[in-house]
Structure 1
Amino acid sequence: MEHLLENQLLNAAQTIEKQLDQQLDRLDNLDSDDLKAIRDQRIREMKDLNNKKQEWIRNGHGTYTELANEKEFFEVSKKSPNIVCHFYKDSTERCRIVDMHLKIIAGKHVEAKFCKVNAEKSPFLTQRLRIKVIPTIALVKDSKTRDFIVGFTDLGNCDDFSTEMLEWRIAQSGAIDYKGDLMQPPDVKRKPYINRPQKTIRSGYDSDDSDIDLDD
């Protein structure tokens, strides 16, 4: 049995080595036309990305803004494929912590629209998304809510989580491009947030039912 396993590992290593050799040979044999084609393709990709960034900025990406009403939220969802929306209440202190972090993250990720909605002034939208805990961040991709960050539980259950921690958690939904390790949260040891219950505004939230179509 051990001999069979050794042969399997050896064969796998030889296959990988052969594939690497083939890739190196292909690169060594590229002529000037091949290199030009690769360069031209890369230039096109960079131009396309720049055009996308310009469109995102025109749609208000790169800043963290408040939406006036529910109608504006649905308008934004038609223009921006990726949305990070904070549902807040003026009376909730922890919402100001979320605001502080989202302002920073918004400037780093122009590929997503960062915004906030007053949950008390948007009862239809709040109920439709089954939001009952404040703060809640809805993560929207391609006009569908893919995920929710409910309170601070996923952020170490503390108030002093880092901006990087929230950025990492948002990236779990695919709403932003993330260069780090999605399997490893950046915050390791934080003091738990205790003895202060979550404030609720709606009942009926179901965290498993998050794929809600926002297209009207």
Structure 2
Amino acid sequence: MGRAPAVPRAGSASGVVPRVCARAQHRGCSAGARACFPGQSARRGEFRARAVRPTLTLAIAAGGAAGARGSGGSEEITFQLKMAADTSVDILQKVLENEILQTTKVVEEHLDAEIQKLDQMDEDELEHLKQRRLEALKKSQQQKQEWLSKGHGEYREIPSERDFFQEVKESKNVVCHFYRDTTFRCQIMDKHLTVLAKKHIETKFLKLNAEKSPFLCERLRIKVIPTLALIKDGKTQDYVVGFTDLGNTDDFTTETLEWRLGCADVINYSGNLMEPPFQSQKKYGTSFTKLDKKTIRGKIYDSDSDDD
């Protein structure tokens, strides 16, 4: 028995069963629920948003509380860091104290050993030690006399360029001041060099009139007056040009010039070369012109300024 064909319902032009509203009060509606109530979906979304807002509010409140706790935590971390820094300083101080104590202990032990060694020496050993010391003093005195015989121990002027080469040849360490009579700063330099010549007899201190030695000034390229040529073993070790290396002031001290000569190793300087005796290092500076070693004859030396 065949199936009866479907009979189209009223209102359906195509014979397809239309979508019926799911609501009971709209059973006769041929449109869907969304089409029947266009604002329903929007209202449903608004309802969902209202349900989510309390959750967001709670989350924001929780975050604020956490931030408050974080602020307190930062203070606590800062306090802990400060405590750790203080502890590190205390530890470092204790380490330094231990190092000083250990060094002092080593020095004391060395002195005790030397004293004990002297106590255990017999007369022959003591006599031998005495002779060694006398020989060292005698040798030192002979060296001093030799320096004095070569013109050390005084600041003096040499008359000519020929004398300059002879003087440099005789001594290991020489400081030569190239001066001019009309330059006032040369007189300032003379005052300090006179003091240092008597103190450092291991070095020969000379002065030479630049106007009377044009050949030598041209060879050494001396353009600034005053200029000190610092000579060691017949070679120019360094130059002191004007007062730039001496604090750039006319009121520099003899100790400052002594330090500068010690930097060039032309005198036996007993101070600390790393601590120049300037009254104010920030004001005067600590840099100075350092040149390569060069022979007396014919090497280049230039200056960027003239000082009359």
TM-score, normalised to structure 2, is: 0.55
Give the AA of the match of 2:163. Answer: E
Residue matched to 1:168 = 259
Query: What whole-Å deviation, never above 9, does each CA across 1:84-119 have from its counterpart, x for those lacking one?
Result: 111112222111110111111111111111111111
TM-superposed deviation, 1:170: 1.1
From 124, 130, 133, the counterpart of 1:42? 133
TM-superposed deviation, 1:64: 0.9
Distance 1:34 1:147 in 2: 47
- Which consecutive unaligned segments of at least 5 residues does structure 2 have? 1-94, 298-308
The structure 1 segments of at least 4 consecutive aligned residues displaced by more than 6 Å after TM superposition are 21-25, 190-193
Distance 2:249 2:189 in 1: 12
**1:139 aligned onto 2:222:** no
Aligned runs of 1:91-106 on 2, under 5 Å? 91-106=182-197
**1:182 aligned onto 2:273:** yes
Residue matched to 1:203 = none
The 1:39–1:90 alpha-carbon spacing in structure 2 relative to 1, beyond 3 Å, is same
Higher relative contact order (CA 8 A, sep 6+): 1
Give the AA of the match of 2:234. Answer: S
**1:113 aligned onto 2:204:** yes
**1:208 aligned onto 2:299:** no
Who wins on radius of gyration, i.e. which is larger?
2
TM-superposed deviation, 1:60: 1.5
Give the AA of the match of 1:89. Answer: R
Residue matched to 2:60 = none
The 1:174–1:30 alpha-carbon spacing in structure 2 relative to 1, beyond 3 Å, is farther
Give the AA of the match of 2:228. Answer: I
- Which consecutive unaligned segments of at least 5 residues does structure 1 have? 1-5, 194-205
Residue matched to 2:177 = 86
Query: SS at the partner of 1:84?
Result: strand
**8 Å contact kept, 1:140–1:175:** yes
TM-superposed deviation, 1:80: 1.5
The 1:131–1:30 alpha-carbon spacing in structure 2 relative to 1, beyond 3 Å, is farther
Query: SS at the partner of 1:134?
Result: coil
More helix by share: 2
Residue matched to 1:66 = 157
**8 Å contact kept, 1:157–1:192:** no
The 1:38–1:214 alpha-carbon spacing in structure 2 relative to 1, beyond 3 Å, is farther
Residue matched to 1:154 = 245
Distance 1:57 1:95 in 2: 25
**8 Å contact kept, 1:160–1:190:** no
**8 Å contact kept, 1:158–1:191:** no
Distance 1:43 1:111 in 2: 21
The 1:25–1:191 alpha-carbon spacing in structure 2 relative to 1, beyond 3 Å, is closer
TM-superposed deviation, 1:148: 1.0
Give the AA of the match of 1:109. Answer: H
Give the AA of the match of 2:294. Answer: I
Distance 1:128 1:35 in 2: 57
Distance 2:282 2:275 in 1: 18
Query: SS at the partner of 1:164?
Result: helix
Instruction: Determine what percentage of the aligned residue pairs are the same residue.
Output: 49
**1:76 aligned onto 2:167:** yes
TM-superposed deviation, 1:132: 2.0
TM-superposed deviation, 1:27: 5.4
